[in-house]
Chains A and B, each alone.
Chain A
Amino acid sequence: MEISKIKDFPVNSKSLKEVREFSKEVIGQSELLRDNMDELVLAISEATQNIVKHAYKDNQETTDKMQIKISFKNNKLEIGFFDKGKPVVEEDIKHRSLDDIKPGGLGTYFIQQIMDEVVFKEATGWHNNLVLTKQY
């Protein structure tokens, strides 16, 4: 079964619920992905949150849109996030140590736990393109 869905969302925290609804709808189309529904929705929501929280940290009133693309082909799930916020410096992305118990810093850890690969790619017309993949 092949899936390929794209949707734009306003860049703000109110979009998170809508992003989750979109994710559930797409993931629900595959029986294989459905078993991982909660974890995948969490990873997608966390990555979206990072765009709002970090890429648009100094531009919270933006009217920009971010785009999410979910594809499933040859048992490989690929989730792309596109935004026009502040370009991400990959070296700066790190989750906190789990032994250092304090609020914050867990979103990236969750994404890394759930997905096989987390990489930033180049995408024409966008400032950031995060790609999450998982092989089934």
Chain B
Amino acid sequence: MTYKISRDGDISTIYLTGEIDMDVTDKAKEFIMPVIEEKKEVHLNLKDVEYMDSSGISILIESHQKAMELGTRVVLKEISKSVLKVIMMAKLEQILILE
């Protein structure tokens, strides 16, 4: 997994690439959570995420809940087909913010 963060006004976008599984969970949290703590809207771009398992879904839930606590939001953008399938299997499409 690799990532890139870009900031534009009130929105920070994190572009994730590759596979998100248990092996990269800690690393992903290390860079995603501080961006959410800046209290700006965070866009997680998932266009180039080829694989996500339950550990990756946990990161999405944790990010969403952290943002809600801080009065901001995490929006999932350009979700790849394989990630969308897993989000829907977990029945989270009505809980997480998908655009």
Contact = CB atoms under 8 A, between A and B. Distances in A.
Given A38-B85, A98-B90, A53 B58 contact: no
Interface string B18-62: 010111000000000000000000000000000101110111011
Nearest to A99: B91
Interface string B56-99: 01110110010000000000000000100110011110010000
Q: Is the interface of A mostly helix, strand, loop or mixed?
A: helix
Contact of B58 (A39, A52, A98, A106): A106
A113 interface: yes
Contact of A17 (B21, B57, B59, B61): B21
A102 B61 contact: yes
B82 A38 contact: yes
Interface stretch (A41-49, A81-89, A122-130): A41-49
B79 to A, nearest CB: 14
Interface of A: 13-14, 16-17, 20, 38-39, 41-42, 45-46, 49, 52-53, 98, 101-107, 109-110, 113
Given A13-B23, A101-B95, A103-B62, 10 more contacts: A17-B23, A39-B85, A42-B53, A42-B86, A49-B22, A49-B53, A98-B91, A102-B61, A103-B57, A110-B53
Interface of B: 19, 21-23, 51, 53-55, 57-59, 61-62, 65, 82, 85-86, 89-92, 95
Closest 6 CB pairs of A and B: A103-B58, A13-B23, A106-B54, A107-B54, A103-B62, A13-B22
